[in-house]
Structures are given as C-alpha cells and as structure tokens.
Amino acid sequence: MGLASNREIKDDGLIPTGTFKARGLAMAVSKAKELGLKKLAMPTAGNAGAALAAYAAKAGIEAYVIMPEDAPLTCKLECYIFGARVYLVRGLISDAGRIVSEGKRKFGWFDVSTMKEPYRVEGKKTMGLEIAEQFNWEVPDVILYPTGGGTGIIGMRKAFNELKELGWIDEKMPRMISIQSEGCAPIVKAFKGGKKESEFWKDAKTIAAGIRVPKAFADFLILRVLYESGGGSVAVSDKEILEASKEFAREGVFACPEGAATLAGLKQLLEEGNIDKDEKILLYNTGSGIKYTKVYSKTSNWSCHLLPPLMT
Ligand SMILES: Cc1ncc(COP(=O)(O)O)c(C=O)c1O
C-alpha cells in the first residue's frame, strides 16, 4: 500500500463465521450453556447474529436474532441455516434492540446484546492477546479499529491492560483509534467534543453495516479507551471505504467494508500528522468481504468474460 512501511493487517475474515464476532459469541454461548440458559436473543447488524446462531446450534440452545431488513443477505442466510429464528425490522440495530428488550419480558429470552452480558468482551480479549503474541510481545504503536458497539476495542484494551499487569508487555501500550463512517459517527463527534458519552446519531447510513450503530450502549467505555490510550477517532466516507477495499484486495485481502474503513482512516491520520509513517501500525480487518457480496457487486464496476462454448 506504500503508505507506511510498518503497516500490518490482522485479518479476522479467516476465522469461523467470517468475522471477529465469533470470538465473543464463542465465549458468551459457552458460558450460557454452562449456566443452563435456553433462549438467547440479540439485536445485530448481521455478523454477530450469524456467530450467535452458529455457536447456539452447536450448544443446542435456541437463538433469536433481530436485525435490520437491509442487513447483509449472507448473515440472514447463515442465521437461517444454523437454525436460529430470524426477525427483520424496518429500521436500525437500535430498533432491533427495543424488540429484544420486549422479548426478554414476554418470552424469557436472555439478552446477549453487545456489552449487556459479561462474556462477549472476555472472548474479544483474544484479539489483544493474539496481537501481542503475533507482534512478539512488542505491541503496535497504534491500532485502527472500525467501531460500532465497541466490544472489540474495549476487549483489546482490557487484554493489553491485563498483559501489562502480568508484565508480559511493556508500559507503552497501543494508541487505540476508532474508525467510523461519515454517515454514522457518534463516537467521532463525542471524542472531538471531549465528551464522556455520545449522542444518538440520527438517520445513520453507511455501506459498512457493522458500524451503523447510532448510539453504543457502552459508548462511555469506548471513549475512555480512546482517551486513556492517547488514541483518537476519525470518520471516513463510503467512497473512501470502497477505494480502500480495492487497496486491500491488491494485497490479497478481501476485506469487509468495516475493515477497509481502517485504511481510509489511516490515510487521513497520516495526512493530519496524527500517525507517523514510521510507526508500527495495525489495521484490524474485522471480517470477510464475502459477507458483503451485495454491497460489492452493486458498487464495483465488475464483469466476467463469457467464453464461447469449448470446441470438442
Ligand atoms: C464486520 C464488523 N466490523 C466491526 C463491527 C463493530 O464492532 P464492535 O461492536 O466491536 O465495535 C461489527 C459489528 O457488527 C462488524 O460486524
């Protein structure tokens, strides 16, 4: 990519269910099974629902997944194939969240929403633990992460804090940077205003479904991570995300739009001088582009060549 010499990508498009969401849900569903829960429910932008459905299938637990009707088709299909009950709402993840709250009372669902149970974030700590190990215990200077509900960034920071306490890594920890979309940037706005909490972002819109979160439940924790780590937060446009996804592709990585957003964010931060090109930089690709065939087939000018029938 020629932007920075020391730039690495961590690619969670390669893990089970094709996104980093598997990390948290593997842990949450395992604990739910251990504790004897029978019905798990969550609002989701799509990917977390698919991960819940997969692990719930294996655990023999019922999964109820509520997502926006325009969530990625692959995620809806995954949920269905894994045997979850899938409900679609005409709205955003925040509207889906209200339905889950109602279902808790009416149907006895257990709510596994982002940051509303304690174990997903513990599973997400594996992101930080792996980074530390893969960087040979000399963690990157800066990590760029596409932020929606925030479990990833909170989990990574928790892992680094614990590793520091154990003496496995140095005092110097990565600056954590939240990347959001211009069409939904509540954390960016709050960070730039020096606020402790974000405001609800009206009319949220972006092709990066996972970061279309108008108000994160744990926004105060995300912001705390940004302030305490000396990090920051920037917003990028959908056009920049699509351009960045082509640059990832040139390195053999079919990134999800959320992951591609980190590269668009890096360009901005280098231009502004908030990241130095010689720093050790990590871009977190949170999922596979394969989950977003509709977005990519609509937005890229792609074609295949049809050959005449082969002669026998
Ligand atoms: C692909 C992808 N990237 C990033 C995010 C945002 O994750 P977090 O809740 O950790 O901020 C999501 C959430 O749905 C997602 O699906």
What CA–CA distance (Å, rounded) separates 45 from 94? Answer: 10
Q: If 0-12 CB within 10 Å is exposed, 13-18 middle and 19+ buried, where does residue 43 land?
A: buried
Confidence of residue 2 (pLDDT cuts 50, 70, 90): low
pLDDT in tens, 287-296: 999 999 999 9
pLDDT, tens digit, 9 for 90 and up, residues 108-155: 999 999 999 999 999 999 999 999 999 999 999 999 999 999 999 999
Among the residue ranges 50-54, 226-230, 284-288, 305-309, the one predicted with the least confidence is: 305-309
User: If you measure from the C-alpha of residue 117 to the centroid of ligand 1, how many angstroms do you get, rounded to a whole number?
Assistant: 17
User: Topology of domain 20-111, per CATH?
Assistant: Rossmann fold (3.40.50)
Q: What is the pTM of this model?
A: 0.95
* Test site for ligand 1: of 262, 263, 286, 292, most ligand atoms within 8 A of the Cβ: 286
Query: What is the band of 162 on the pLDDT scale with cuts at 50, 70, 90?
Result: very high
- CA 304 to ligand 1 center in whole angstroms: 31
Q: What confidence category does residue 79 fall into, taking pLDDT thresholds of 50, 70 and 90?
A: very high
For the CA of 259, the closest atom of ligand 1 is: 3
% of the chain surpassing 90 pLDDT: 93
CA–centroid distance, residue 211 to ligand 1 (Å): 6
- Tell me the pLDDT tens digit for each residue of 172-192: 999 999 999 999 999 999 999
pLDDT at 236 over 80: yes
Query: Which residue(s) pair with 234 in the sheet?
Result: 179
pLDDT class of 29 with cuts at 50, 70, 90: very high
Given this chain, do its domains 7-16+121-298 and 20-111 carry the same CATH topology?
yes
What integer pLDDT is reported at residue 312 of this predicted model? 61
Report the C-alpha gap between 245 and 261 in whole angstroms: 8
Helix (H, G, I), strand (E, B) or coil at 87: strand
State in Å: Cα 58 to ligand 1 middle: 23
pLDDT per residue as tens digits for the range 189-234 = 999 999 999 999 999 999 999 999 999 999 999 999 999 999 999 9
Q: What is each CA distance from 123 to 20, 36, 117, 209, in whole angstroms?
A: 10, 19, 12, 22
Residue nearest to atom 8 of ligand 1 (CA): 150
For 3-20, what is each residue's pLDDT tens digit?
667 899 999 999 999 999
pLDDT at 1 over 70: no
Average pLDDT, the chain: 95
* Nearest Cα residue to atom 6 of ligand 1: 148
| Sheet containing 232-236, strands listed edge to edge, beginning at the edge strand earlier in sequence | 7-11, 281-285, 142-146, 175-181, 232-236
Q: Residue 301's pLDDT band (boundaries 50, 70, 90)?
A: confident
| Residue ranges covered by each domain of the chain | 7-16+121-298, 20-111
pLDDT score of 197: 98
pLDDT of residue 38: 97
Mean pLDDT in residue range 16-29: 98
Identify the CATH number of the domain defined by range 7-16+121-298: 3.40.50.1100
Q: What pLDDT score does 42 carry?
A: 97
The C-alpha atoms of residue 231 and residue 224 are separated, in whole angstroms, by: 10
